[in-house]
Structure 1
């Protein structure tokens, strides 16, 4: 397979995606940029040496030279634009959330199965060396049974963050801190432990005068029988992200860097001196792969070339959206919610109130 020719739409986080693609010149070439702000798109295209600029997404999808369309647009556009790009015969990479409901993501799963295109949601945090080391220790049989996991997303968002007209609104952001901020931290939990079985949650708007939630507390029973606790706020003066996993044979604690806590350093503590020795020996064998966007895009290219499973799949995104749906439904009803969530659930078609 030749180098993949990529078109990126959205000039916000899209700039980080472009730089990641351009750091992999043997795998990718960014050949087009699309944004409704022509002047901004032209300026960024000139700076990053991207030859083609579009403001019309339909024309952008019709560009024959494109192999991959990378969506970095506001949340409410993701499902529609993913469908449009896939129907144009392009592979799709899509920022979170890939859809605004379980129904929409199920429709995308069906579309992917019926076509020759691949659709990859973005969950780049899971490729950090810290969380990858935990996965490796689990695969080596050194973790044992999971007991309890805690996940903290304590960030600070002020009025200027919500100056973007699509943020802070149900119809355009599709949710609050749960959907667009803590979603990565919660994906890391499910990536390590697996899906939730039952959820009880509370959510409120306390920090900013917005429509959507900015504080969440949730108690989970996971499918493997372990427990997990999630806390989310945009009102923390000291910004941190933290994961702590307690297993029968070890505990694992992340760093607290708010936007990079999947990376090193993580602390792994064995339940005995003997297990500690085995952990250290295993970590010596660990082979680090690229992290972040670069890590996800490298693995994406390899999956296309080798015709193997994508590093992040629509089923991964569905698990994420299922947890979001359960948390919202529990917070709105004051009742625990059992998973999995099927088509008969009252919020299958939308979690928005």
Structure 2
């Protein structure tokens, strides 16, 4: 396509402002032509701030009036699947904030709607799109750094009790899970994008201190098809907040520590002494200068639309990340290892992340 892509932004909460600001950085490639929110005052304030000409109180109203090039879903998680299905059935391209759905069942509903309607669905996993992550993915399988051996994936954040004051926060029905689902999902997705298919997981999850139905901490050991083993910790109880990933290869360790986004300088590469020159040359061969963030992914989405391709991150890509999250919960609540592919439509964890029910909840709470 030539010209300017027209974007409709659905939802005008805090994350929508981030999206709007990043669309503005794209210059003439894209513009927000419509915004949707059921609260009129909030909708008007947002649209006035970002000079958005068309305003709608519902997604249905938008879709009856317009056919945007891209629908950007910035709504609460419980709305994502139904809204995505409605859009892709009409053949539209959708970009959706995380988590893309509340369950694997909902992910399959989105995929079926894509197949039926011809639209496309992509999830916002912006950490894939920084240049350093792209460089690392390009080196997997490169003899200069060797085979992957181990990894660390930690999302150690802090949220006080007051964070959960809104009734929908910390509930399985509205958010689908706690930090495993709503916070650590970004780092786990980046880990999977580097290390490839996972094989099995053994995990624990607990609700220690926060007034929630969901967990406030989880930990997992994940084995990959390559043989690499990763430790994954997701917490909302960590006063020194950090997002930390470490990838050990035969000839080098590659690390990144940040909080909500990284630049090239946040990454560190440590080679073995005998491979120092080769590792340095390999890392220098990769792209540089692009921080992670929504703007980076939005640019990649528009590139895909230019070429007639499915925008990244596709439903299949996001399904793998969601399957790992479901497996963390399933392993935690059944107290046994869970293999990839095991959570099928016959599993209680296919339709709800809490499956048979979190052990700290009243019996029968999960349905």
TM-score w.r.t. length of structure 2: 0.91
What is residue 109 of structure 1 aligned with on the other side? 111
How many equivalent residue pairs? 351
Write the mapping of 1:88-99 to structure 2, written as runs, cut at 5 A: 88-99=90-101
- State the secondary structure of the residue aligned to 1:58: helix
Q: Hey, what's the Cα distance between the residues in 1 that align with 2:283 and 2:225?
A: 28
Give how far 1:261 is off: 4.2
Q: Hey, what's the Cα distance between the residues in 1 that align with 2:33 and 2:95?
A: 15
Q: Hey, what's the Cα distance between the residues in 1 that align with 2:107 and 2:97?
A: 13
Does structure 2 conserve the Cα–Cα contact (< 8 Å) formed by 1:128 and 1:264?
Answer: no
Q: Which string of whole-angstrom CA distances, capped at 9 and with x for unpartnered residues, describes residues 261-295 of structure 1?
A: 4753211122234x221222233332337431111
Q: Hey, what's the Cα distance between the residues in 2 that align with 1:169 and 1:345?
A: 21
2:310 is aligned with 1:318: no
Q: Hey, what's the Cα distance between the residues in 2 that align with 1:332 and 1:267?
A: 36
Q: Hey, what's the Cα distance between the residues in 2 that align with 1:56 and 1:310?
A: 25
Give how far 1:40 is off: 1.4
- State the secondary structure of the residue aligned to 2:65: coil
Give how far 1:309 is off: 4.1
In the TM superposition, structure 1's runs of 4+ consecutive aligned residues that sit over 6 Å from their partners are none
- Identify unmatched segments of 5+ residues in structure 2: 358-367
Q: Please tell me the root mean square deviation across aligned C-alpha atoms, in Å.
A: 1.7
Q: Hey, what's the Cα distance between the residues in 2 that align with 1:263 and 1:58?
A: 42
Q: Hey, what's the Cα distance between the residues in 1 that align with 2:184 and 2:334?
A: 22
Does structure 2 conserve the Cα–Cα contact (< 8 Å) formed by 1:217 and 1:231?
Answer: yes
- State the secondary structure of the residue aligned to 2:83: helix
2:178 is aligned with 1:180: no
Q: Which string of whole-angstrom CA distances, capped at 9 and with x for unpartnered residues, describes residues 154-191 of structure 1?
A: 10001232233321111111111111100001001101
Q: Which string of whole-angstrom CA distances, capped at 9 and with x for unpartnered residues, describes residues 225-278 of structure 1?
A: 1111011111111101101111112111112x21124753211122234x2212
Does structure 1 conserve the Cα–Cα contact (< 8 Å) formed by 2:251 and 2:279?
Answer: no
What is residue 364 of structure 2 aligned with on the other side? none
- State the secondary structure of the residue aligned to 1:73: coil
- Identify unmatched segments of 5+ residues in structure 1: none
Q: Hey, what's the Cα distance between the residues in 2 that align with 1:17 and 1:289?
A: 21
TM-score w.r.t. length of structure 1: 0.94
